Amino acid sequence: MALRWTQDLLSLYDIYDEFLRKSFSDVQNMRQTIHDAFIEVINSNSRAAELLSLFIDDSLKNGLKRKSEQEVEHLLDRSVLMFRFLQNKDAFEHYYKLHLAKRLLLGRSLSDDAEQSLVSKLKVECGSQFTFKLEGMFKDMQLSADLAQGFRDIRSSEPLDFDMNVSVLTPTFWPQMTPPMSEEDKREMGNVKPPPGPLCDSIESFAQFYLQQRSGRRLTWQYNMGNADIKLQFGSRTYELNVSTYQMFILMLFSAEDDVSMTTAEIQQQTHIPENVLARQLQSLACGKHRILTKSPMSREVSSTDRFTFNYNFKSAQYRIRLPVASAKTSVETEKEKSESMAAIGLERQYLVEAAIVRIMKARKQMMHEQLVSETINQLSTRFLPTPKMVKDTIGRLIDRDYLQRSPDDLRLYNYLA
Amino acid sequence: MAKASGQATSKKTSKSKMVAGNELQKWFNENQEHKDGRAVIMPEGFERLCEALEFDMDGIEPMVLLWQLNGVELGTVELEGWEKGLDEMGVRDLSGLKMAIENTVEAFKTNSELFKTFYRKMFDYLRQDKQKSITAEYAVAVLPVITSNMWVFEKFVEFLKANDDKIKTISRDQWQSLLALSRNLEPDMSNYSKDDAWPTMFDDFVDWAKA
């Protein structure tokens, strides 16, 4: 349904476009009228920024299959046009970063070229400041691939018998990908480590390799964002599972010996995965379509005394099975998630309005209220449209903090305070 | 300022030294305390002074008195400010001081610049410690006293009371702009515009008042 909205919009535009060309020789002012109408319609939907990003996300993951190069270009151009009409461009950047991050880290993009092409088009629309972080994300992925090769080279004498792909991310480029959690949970999450064994050793080996050439840097492992393909072998059955890194750590606890039985609390203690995150991982392993673990009681809710055992009766017609955890999927936000996003975007906007006003006043030293408001709105309009009230509020705050003062002779005139 | 003689070139001398037998100086000496090594009148003493001057503690006079004596905080006057203030008012005794303050209060009615200076200083007296703003509670308590019969202030105080769950502080800019608003706003508020430079709190105030 989320995709329908954007799809319908694009189809509608195609109709008007054809109409304009064929019947009106693409007269400029008629096209402008159509554009104005689209601008109004798009921005009347409060979720427009998110929906547009979701549409592009789906296109880059599935929709481009079986499309010719020309069709792909057309789709991307149209998406960028809709982006031009969008008022809340900063909200779009927020969602786009998030969706792009998931695509890159989980390897879901159909075409690297299409991804890069889209970002270049956005750059033409908005300037490099806008796409700076997106390009940073691509660079990180490229560097990570180079690092992986370098790591394989130095270990050529004793290669790993599994494929390990480490993505090294520069924090400033990447969005916040962990859900908000308490300080305690954050600390606990920082304690997560793979169970001792070859995996743990190779992770440490990689860290050493990386830090050797880059002293002064710090690596913080984000196991919550990884995924793994593991081979599950028991009795005569073999399956390939695609799971989250956390799920892999959990399953490794059960593979050490036969008939392992653990409660949620015990699993939590051993893995250090925060409780509510752990619950979702266990639900996906024990309560979904494919039950790798057996949970007792069999209810869907996970409590700390629930007991888990490996399901030796597990059977599936598929060889390769994906066990999705809710957070990995890219879908329309819940109301709660939306308000969190809006809060983050709102905070960023406040900061941008402040910075713009200070910049303008620093340059001009003195300005009338009306002018300051319109100049500020103007400067920020490429990212979002601040309301005059927002600007006025910010002026008030800046007066309080002694950046500006009202002129004693005219209350509508502001002076910059150096 | 009353001068003792008509000499045009007489320099301003430190009158506090001249008036050793001055009733007010005596009063200060009898009621002073010491704080951080300075001679001060503290709130209790200040209240006694107001009683001596027959000022109602709930009225505007004590505040004007504090201001004219260059008080450092509510109810607190240091010797230096005391002497300078009395010097500028040209008074030597309690009845002179009483009259000077009452004249000032009367002058507020016609001298808007004078009132503005007093009104702005009041904000500083209401501030606590290092806070930049004052509590809405204090504003509600003090505004009616210093701005009696000014309808905009009355209405604004009602607005603050009605929104005491949302509005907790008043900034210096809001305080100062309120005076300007009171001198500018039409009774029907028809000349108020949100596009003007008024603090956004006033937008809410006008909306509330019109509702």
Q: Is residue B122 part of a domain?
A: yes
For residue A70, give every residue at least 6 positions away whose Cβ sits within 8 Å of its Cβ, in sequence order, or none.
none
The pLDDT of B55-66, averaged and rounded, is 95
Tokens of B23: 């009733």
Residues of A in contact with B167 (CB under 8 A): none
Which residues of A are less than 8 Å from B133 in CB distance? 400
Residue B15's pLDDT band (boundaries 50, 70, 90)? very low
- Of B107, B131, B158, at which residue does a domain stop? B107
- How many CA atoms are closer than 13 Å to the CA of B70, on its beta-carbon side? 13
Q: What is the CATH number of the domain that holds B127?
A: 1.10.238.200
The pLDDT tens digits of the residues spanning A362-373 come to 999 999 999 999
Q: Does residue A180 have a cis peptide bond before it, meaning omega lies within 30 degrees of 0?
A: no
Choose between A39 and A110: higher pLDDT. A39
Residue B3 lies inside a defined structural domain of this protein: no
Tokens 């290092």 belong to: B130
Residues B70 and B150 in one domain: no
Chain A nearest-CA distance from B43, in A, is 30
Cα dihedral value A50, A56, A58, A60, nearest 10? -150
Candidate CATH numbers 1.20.1310.10, 1.10.10.60, 3.40.80.10, 3.40.50.920; the one for domain A2-146: 1.20.1310.10
Indicate if B86 and B135 belong to the same structural domain. no
Residue A389 C-alpha, separation from nearest chain B C-alpha, in angstroms: 7
User: A238 pairs with which residues across the strands?
Assistant: A233
Which chain B residues have a beta carbon less than 8 Å from that of A406? Answer: 173, 176-177, 197
Indicate whether B100 and B126 sit together in one domain. no
The CA R_g of chain B, rounded to the nearest whole Å, is 20
Range of the domain at B88: 12-107
- Secondary structure (3-state) at A22: helix
Q: Where are the domains of chain A?
A: 2-146, 183-322, 335-416
State the total domains in chain B: 2
**Alpha carbon distances (Å) from A8 to A74, A78, A82:** 15, 12, 12
pTM: 0.74
What pLDDT score does A3 carry? 86
d(CA A193, CA A296): 26
For residues B30 and B51, membership in a common domain is answered with: yes
* Furthest CA-CA distance within chain B: 63
Chain-centre distance of CA B143, in angstroms? 10
For the cut 80, the answer to whether the pLDDT of residue B4 exceeds it is: no
Do residues B193 and B171 share a domain? Answer: yes
Instruction: Name the more confident of B138 and A126.
Output: B138
Domain assignment present for residue B36? The answer is: yes
pLDDT in tens, A6-46: 889 888 998 999 988 888 888 888 889 999 999 999 999 98
* B16 has pLDDT over 80: no
pLDDT tens-digit map of B199-210: 999 999 999 999
8-state DSSP, A62: I
CB atoms within 10 A of CB A369: 21
- The pLDDT value given to residue A155: 84
B17 at A interface, C-beta within 8 A: no
Q: Using one digit for the tens of pLDDT, what is the confidence trace for A308-350?
A: 999 999 988 899 998 877 666 777 888 888 888 888 899 999 9
Fold of A335-416: Arc Repressor Mutant, subunit A (1.10.10)
- The answer to whether the CB atoms of B197 and A369 lie below 8 A apart is yes
Q: Which of A392, A397, A409, A415 would you mutate first to test chain B, the one with the most B CBs within 10 A?
A: A392
Q: Is it the case that residue B10 has pLDDT exceeding 50?
A: no
pLDDT score, position A273: 92
Query: Which residues in A254-402 belong to E strands, given as ranges?
Result: 261-263, 293-296, 307-310, 320-322, 366-368
Which CATH number goes with the domain that contains B27? 1.10.238.10
